[in-house]
Amino acid sequence: MTDLSTSYLGLMLKNPLVVSPSPLNEDLDNLRRMEDLGASAVVLHSLFEEQINVQSNDLDRFLSHGAESFAEALSYFPEAQAYSLGPEGYLEHIRKAKKSVGIPIIGSLNGVSTGGWIRYAKMIEEAGADALELNVYYIPTDPELSSTQVEKMYVDLVRDIKGSLKIPVAVKLGPYFSAMANMARRLDQAGAGGLVLFNRFYQPDFDLEQLEVVPNLVLSTSHELRLRLCWVAILYGHIKADMAITGGIHSPEDVIKAMMAGARVSMMTSALLSRGLGHLATMRTGILQWMEEHEYASIRQMQGSMSQKSVAEPAAFVRANYMKVLRSYALKGSR
């Protein structure tokens, strides 16, 4: 019998299909359906640093930096009542979720500073979360802020929060570090039990009629998976932390690729927003079918089989392959 089980953050999961944060996860009925349809775990929507700080009336200096010059900057943060769940409501949602489903529930904190995070991280643990995901959503726009300072901020955040908790901690990262492999190792050494690759930083658009900067949500596609596959495959075997791929998981084949690169789980939201929760069952059936057709007995059998350390041509992941790709196009153009 085909074995779809995997492990992530020390949690034994029935398959690698994990639902990543979105408004879908605010509804308990949705969580029940996700479990019934095949999800092995759910990362709850994030508790935002702004929510914590608004409650304490103490906006962190990293988030408010520049407000003296751009007074309108703070207007981009929603009013406290605009959030569907404040800090206390979020903790209660965890308690209810744990009673409603049998699959692991992973809490999520979104922000950049230690501040109130340690206190709320502990409260999330006490509410019953099986693990915590740190969604470090930070874009360093201050020219005076060096890469060294930014990296230290990440490492200190992970070390401080992990040192205060018993449950495992994962870190959701963006892809823009100049030395990604080194950063991954430092976070691993700081206590991160998992790395989630990669965060999608939503970029605003320009309204040319109103001359305003407006938010613009674009769902992911399978095309975005390549960057994630590349880095998971490169990091596999070099860090102890489990790796999760998020962004670009839409088909059963996407999940298979993620596992072969070296991921423990694949996380999805865009596919569920566009196709409905029933897509979870389609994904699970498709993974089983592919594995049976290609004679794979288990998910563990394929994990890391296409990583850089496992393939016949490791250079396929680095600069040598760049020259090979350019050469292939040159040959096509000459025909």
What's the pLDDT tens digit per position in 213-260?
888 778 888 889 999 999 999 999 999 999 999 999 999 999 999 999
pLDDT band at residue 68 under the 50/70/90 scheme: very low
- The pLDDT tens digits for 256-312 are 999 999 999 999 999 999 999 999 999 999 999 999 999 999 999 999 999 999 987
Query: Does residue 173 contact residue 222 with C-beta atoms inside 8 Å?
Result: no
**Lookup: tokens for 167:** 């449950």
Residue 321 in domain: yes
Give strand ranges (E) for the chain.
6-8, 11-13, 17-19, 41-43, 47-48, 105-110, 131-135, 169-173, 194-197, 205-207, 212-214, 242-246, 265-268
71/140 same-domain check? yes
Q: Which residue has the higher pLDDT, 54 or 196?
A: 196
- Strand partners for 243: 195
148 and 226 belong to one structural domain: yes
pLDDT: which is higher, 204 or 151: 151
Task: Please tell me the predicted confidence (pLDDT) of residue 163.
Answer: 92
Q: Answer yes or no: do 248 and 135 share one domain.
A: yes
Domains: count for the chain? 2
Same domain for 195 and 173, yes or no, is yes
Tell me the mean pLDDT in the region 5-20: 98
Query: What confidence score (pLDDT) does residue 46 get?
Result: 84
Query: Does residue 1 form part of some domain?
Result: no
DSSP states of 66-108 as a string? TTTT-GGGGGGSPPGGGSSS-HHHHHHHHHHHHHH-SS-EEEE
Give the 3-state secondary structure of residue 277: coil
Together in a domain, 72 and 169: yes
Is residue 80 scored above 70 in pLDDT? no
Q: Which of 167, 57, 52 is nearest to 110 (CA)?
A: 52
Q: Are 206 and 214 in contact (CB under 8 A)?
A: yes
Determine the 3-state secondary structure of 158 from DSSP: helix
Residue written as token pair 């897509």: 279
pLDDT at 27 over 90: yes
Domain of residue 334, residue span: 308-335
- Which positions ≥6 away from 71 have C-beta within 8 Å? none
Residue 229 lies in a domain: yes
Same domain, 123 and 161: yes
CA 188 to chain centre: 16
User: What is the CATH classification number for the domain harbouring 17?
Assistant: 3.20.20.70
Q: Residue range 15-26: average pLDDT?
A: 95
State whether 203 and 329 are in the same domain.
Answer: no
Q: Are the C-beta atoms of 237 and 304 separated by less than 8 Å?
A: yes
Asked if 325 and 225 sit in the same domain, the reply is no
Judged against a pLDDT cut of 70, whether residue 82 lies above it is answered with no
Query: With 80 as the cut, is the pLDDT of residue 53 above it?
Result: no
User: Are 112 and 259 in the same domain?
Assistant: yes
Question: Which of 68, 69, 70, 50 lies closest to 60 in space, CA to CA?
Answer: 50
Is residue 25 within 8 A of residue 43, CB to CB? The reply is yes
295/315 same-domain check: no
For all residues of the chain together, what is the average pLDDT?
A: 85
pLDDT at 77: 41
Model pTM score: 0.85
User: Residue 76's pLDDT is what?
Assistant: 39
Among 45-49, 53-57, 149-153, 217-221, top mean pLDDT goes to 149-153
Reported as a pLDDT band with limits 50, 70 and 90, residue 86 is: confident
- Residue type at 37? L
**pLDDT digits over 131-184, tens only?**
999 988 677 778 998 999 989 989 999 999 999 999 999 999 999 899 999 999
